[in-house]
Structure 1
Amino acid sequence: MNCWDDVWEVPLPLPFALKIIKSYVIKGSNGYTVVDTGLHYDGDLEAWERARRSIGFEWKDVEQIVLTHYHPDHYGLAGWMQEKTGAPVRMSRTDFEQAQLFFSKSSEQPEVMARFYGEHGLEAEWKEQIPPHLRGFQKWVDPHPDPEFIEAGGTIRLGDREYRILHTPGHADGHLSFHDEERGWLIGGDFLLPRITPNISLWPGCDPDPLGTYLATLDQMDTLPVKRVFPAHGSVFENYHGRIEELREHHRERLEEMAGWAEAASVTAVEACYRTFGTNLSIHNLRFALSETLAHLEYLRLRGKLVREKEEGVWKYRKA
């Protein structure tokens, strides 16, 4: 387990493709802050017990639980940990609302998403798997926390240091990052990752232009003096501005590629997805791949590069 001054990195296993999420524990004179929690499943509960013993704290010593965003690998254990510690959970209002949209037992979002994907060309045998697949995440986020809401523009004390709260959307609408201005340290969640590109997905009922939002976030954050990034996936890294430029270039290349396909002939989002990511995908990976494809196609459409027309109930994109 790696440690930098007052910050411990806690790797937690995941039972899907990403394999590991990095949570962080920050020591202060009033107790310990946990940033992101992992999933509510045995693998992460066991990992937290090992980490707690290794760092040397009791659950009663946790003074707060802070979440960068609502995705299950970050949010899932927050309710359990709140009950265990009695500590407040702090996150953005937007992401708590989206956690309810996606993971509440009463939500119809799984059916909404299945219809949405079907309108973009997803085959029936895949479409019918979407609702049970999404509802399969409910067990990993139960119980939900009762959070206190924090907002960008203010500060939050993590350990004994003040961090500026930054709104870093694109990967999630209410995603927050935390910047220690004195040290130049950024606890960035999934905003900026050292090896993989953060998934930028178009979901019904959420940001209609997530890629545009993410690229604007990269531009805004590129002005920030950052010396070290603590990401949720991958190792702590220092090539902050270089990594931002690599991600800009990645999305430029993908946009050019998709625009080229639509110039040659009209395409559905599913066709563009298979060309980009291949067809040998699990339902989990297909959902993310298709939503990311849609984020790129809609970015092009909203900027007048493509038009969208419905043919036999399915949207097709072509050159404007």
Structure 2
Amino acid sequence: MTSTAHAISPDSGTHWTEPGAWAVAPGVHRIPLPLPMDGLRAVNVYVLETDDGLTLIDGGWAVEASRTQLEQSLKEIDRHVGDIRSFLVTHVHRDHYTQAVTIRREVGSHVSLGLGDKATLDLIHDRDRTGPDPHVALLERAGAPDIARAWGEFTRAHTPDLSQWDYPDTWLEGDVGLQVGGRALDAVHTPGHTRGHYVFADRDASLLFAGDHVLPTITPSIGFEPAVAAQPLGDFMASLTRVRGLPDLTLLPAHGPVAPSSHARVDELLAHHEDRLALCLEAVGGGALTSYDVAGVLSWTRHERTLASLDVFNSALATLETRAHLELLVARGGLAHAEQDGVVVYRRTIGT
């Protein structure tokens, strides 16, 4: 798959992370905001203009560099932060949610978020939790005790700023129609990347504000959230199929360039995960027992790196995404799983 590091966006004619307020359609601008300490480099926030002010789809990460860039980019269209009336946040991850919360505190904007992400916010706010981060137990059960230990040490050293994680004003539940000025949006629940993820479809303008659900050059992480779903990959692939059932729309992703066809990219993502499922099945047949074992057989990123070459964060992502693939294979009947000394092990079923 093509790297986001070399992607030109057709609205700007330059690298998709280039700062600015880039017109993608009448009354709609794409504003890339920086992501410090993040390999993705930027998140696209989309500005929808109305007679009453601005609605932003996603808010960015609440860090000074992002806030400064948002202010500068809004000036390019003769707007400012005080014009923001509402945020439609695709999901609860910090690069999408936290700046919406901090701006709301200043200017009174209204923030909406998918109800499925409430469980994650509840865990963040549960200060009385005495146990480790939920990912620690998942990684231990996945057969990755060293990664689990390193992840636990990292999370103990980084306490979240709860002022950036306040609850939204409105929870989105199910599929709903929204009116943003004169623009009708279909808010479509697309769990997988997170349990509460939403995309927003503007059928009249042929636009899909896709968040992290459909990314043009990379695949979103699956199964990596504190309140993990039982079948995150199954949810994700089902959500992709639902988006495939919408009209073919211009893809407006959270990371990467604007792309011409939501259908084409959904088809690629579904094919990619079917390929990974086949590789996981093969790895178990070859003797890999745990999610960590299977992840070690697979290659990662467009550079086809080994699991051992990844840092702690990305090796945890890889291990838990592999777990999501293996659990979907169990649900499909291709694998069986059992627990041995607190670790989940997998075997192929007869006939697979």
Identity over the aligned pairs, expressed in percent?
A: 28
Residue 8 in structure 1 maps to residue 29 in structure 2 = yes
* 2:133–2:226 contact (8 Å) kept in structure 1: no
Q: Distance in 2 between matches of 1:116 and 1:291?
A: 8
Q: Distance in 2 between matches of 1:252 and 1:268?
A: 19
Among 316, 331, 335, the residue aligned to 1:306: 335
Distance 1:133 1:12, change over 3 A: farther
1:26-51 C-alpha deviation (Å, 9 max, x unpaired):
11001001111111112212211212
> 2:49 maps to what in 1?
27
Distance 1:249 1:141, change over 3 A: farther
Residue 220 in structure 1 maps to residue 209 in structure 2 = no
Letter in 2 for 1:298: E
Q: Distance in 1 between matches of 2:259 and 2:206?
A: 12
> 2:319 maps to what in 1?
290
* 1:105–1:138 contact (8 Å) kept in structure 2: no
Q: Where do 1:68-83 residues align within 5 Å? A: 68-83=90-105
How far off its partner does 1:181 sit?
1.7
Q: Distance in 1 between matches of 2:200 and 2:134?
A: 33
Residue 133 in structure 1 maps to residue 162 in structure 2 = no
TM-score for the superposition, normalised by structure 2: 0.84
How far off its partner does 1:137 sit?
7.1
Q: Where do 1:69-148 residues align within 5 Å? A: 69-102=91-124, 105-107=127-129, 110-124=132-146, 126-134=147-155, 136=158, 138-139=160-161, 142-148=164-170
1:175-233 C-alpha deviation (Å, 9 max, x unpaired):
11111121221111011111001222255643111111111112222121133111101
Q: Distance in 2 between matches of 1:311 and 1:86?
A: 52
Alignment: residue pair count:
319
* 2:194–2:225 contact (8 Å) kept in structure 1: no
Q: Distance in 2 between matches of 1:29 and 1:295?
A: 45
Q: Distance in 1 between matches of 2:225 and 2:264?
A: 29
Q: Where do 1:253-268 residues align within 5 Å? A: 253-268=275-290
Letter in 1 for 2:23: C
Q: Distance in 2 between matches of 1:230 and 1:9?
A: 8
Distance 1:140 1:34, change over 3 A: farther
Distance 1:197 1:25, change over 3 A: same
1:14-71 C-alpha deviation (Å, 9 max, x unpaired):
1212111111111100100111111111221221121222222232211111101111
Letter in 2 for 1:97: A
Q: Which runs of 5+ in 1 are unaligned?
A: none
Letter in 1 for 2:326: L
Q: Distance in 2 between matches of 1:56 and 1:109?
A: 49
Distance 1:287 1:102, change over 3 A: farther
> 2:74 maps to what in 1?
52
* 1:177–1:187 contact (8 Å) kept in structure 2: yes
> 1:174 maps to what in 2?
196
Distance 1:133 1:6, change over 3 A: farther
Q: Secondary structure at the match of 1:89?
A: strand
- Between 1:177-186 and 1:198-207, the stretch displaced more is 198-207
1:117-161 C-alpha deviation (Å, 9 max, x unpaired):
11211133x322223434637249725244212233321123431
